[in-house]
Amino acid sequence: MALNRRSFLGASAAGLSVLAAPTVQAAGHGKPRVVVIGGGAGGATAARYIAKDSKGEVDVTLVEPTRTYYTCFFSNLYLGGFKSISDIGHTYGGLAARGVNVVHDWATGVDRAAKTVTLAGGATLNYDKLILSPGIDFVDGAVEGWDITAQNKMPHAYKAGSQSELLKAQLAAMPEGGTFMMVAPPNPYRCPPGPYERVSMVAHYLKNNNPTAKIIVADPKPKFSKMALFQEGWANHYEGMIDWIGEDFGGGNVSVDPGAMTVTIDGEVTKADVCNVIPAMKAGRIAEIAGVTDGNWAPVNAADMSTKADPDVYVLGDASQQGDMPKSGFSANSQAKVCANAVRGALTGSRVFPAKFSNTCWSLIDTNDGVKVGATYEATDEKIAKVDGFISATGETSDVRKATYEESEGWYTGITNDMFS
């Protein structure tokens, strides 16, 4: 029996993990083939736009190991009790219905000479254009005493899903007056305001459930995204609860002992009841396997997100080294649309328009106290360069902050539809 895309998806959904290679290259028919690896804000958007806009002229395969994708953005709101885990979970049926061949498997190899991708299940995919959007992995040895085998004792919760649920359960189980510790990451990392929104959401939870508890943050940086806004908010809402130890006070000189549940900051040992370790980051491993990284990240050309290493391999989002854009879901979604337009143009001759990029990051400090930072960007020969930007002001009225939070909820619905519908 010849499998078409729909029956392949059905077989995959039924849990059949091994299929012979020829069946995966369904509906080849000489059409140009795009393989997208990673179904987050970059990859899902790129797959969706190429499929939608090419109207069947391009074969699009999306390789994503998880069947339900939990967005990192808004996962802090889940920790704070503002969202349920199902609120931030999304499936791929909408993309399949648009004609994207959704394959739930791990990509384990890329042969750029043969233009093939190998999957853990044994299949091989051919591509004309390959888009990698693998998000982040952690740098080995970044936090002394921590590695991925310690993630159940000291969760990172920086890839959303089971890690987020674990951290929330640990937060709920904290003893009265206990200590929540965070080891914050060095630049550059996914979602610059993310650790500090997380501190805010943990503080919100503790204020309501465990008000004598403390939060200690060890940070290797001297300053951080939206710092004035967060510090103002912490003073207003959570006075005396949060102790942020920056670089100047030894916040970068940190080791952990997951067995003893201790954190040593500049020689001083503290017992933690919950410890959230967010290590230094690098591009998701498949980018390194594909040989398109230079150091921790994959350098790309700003005009179309193609890699410096290979004009037929593109890298989107957190994994890319592109210039001035922060590593965020919004940025990845924005880059994906520029890339999709360029890839479709290269494969079908459709019109290619100039790259325009934008980003906005909303953060919630406490109930109805939202803040935002954003910028627009353009492609130069050298990089993605910032054009203009804005940031919420300290001392804004509660009406403005509430409207900003409501705007963030609208954005969440908008971007997740833009990725998955």
Partner 1 sequence: MLHTWPPFSETRAEEVQPIEAAFTVAPDILAIEGDFAYGEYLSSECTTCHQATGANDGIPGIIGWETEDFVIAMHAYREKHRENPVMQMITGRLADDEIAALASYFKSLGE
The residues binding partner 1 (CB under 8 A) are 49, 53, 330, 333-334, 337, 341, 351, 353, 356, 358, 360, 372, 374-376, 378, 387-390, 406-411, 413-415, 417-418, 421
Q: What is the rounded distance in angstroms from the CA atom of residue 37 to the CA atom of residue 315?
A: 10
Contact 286, 132 (CB under 8 A): yes
Contacts of 380 (CB under 8 A, 6+ apart): 302, 323
Residue type, 190: R
Nearer to partner 1, 53 or 232 (CB): 53
Nearer to partner 1, 325 or 415 (CB): 415
Q: Output the six-digit token pair for 360.
A: 């906005």
Helix (H) or strand (E) holding 48: helix 43-54
Q: Output the six-digit token pair for 370.
A: 């939202």
Residue type, 306: S
Nearer to partner 1, 12 or 306 (CB): 306
Contact 338, 306 (CB under 8 A): no
Contact 282, 186 (CB under 8 A): no
Give the shortest CB-319-to-partner 1 separation in angstroms.
20
CA dihedral sign of residues 149, 175, 184, 132: positive
Nearer to partner 1, 151 or 360 (CB): 360
Nearer to partner 1, 192 or 195 (CB): 192
Nearer to partner 1, 149 or 413 (CB): 413
Nearer to partner 1, 12 or 341 (CB): 341
Q: What is the rounded distance in angstroms from the CA atom of residue 59 to the CA atom of residue 4?
A: 12
Give the shortest CB-43-to-partner 1 separation in angstroms.
15
Give the shortest CB-64-to-partner 1 separation in angstroms.
20
Give the shortest CB-411-to-partner 1 separation in angstroms.
5
DSSP E strand stretches across 266-336: 268-271, 274-277, 281-283, 298-299, 313-315, 320-321
Give the shortest CB-421-to-partner 1 separation in angstroms.
8
Give the shortest CB-123-to-partner 1 separation in angstroms.
31
Give the shortest CB-151-to-partner 1 separation in angstroms.
31
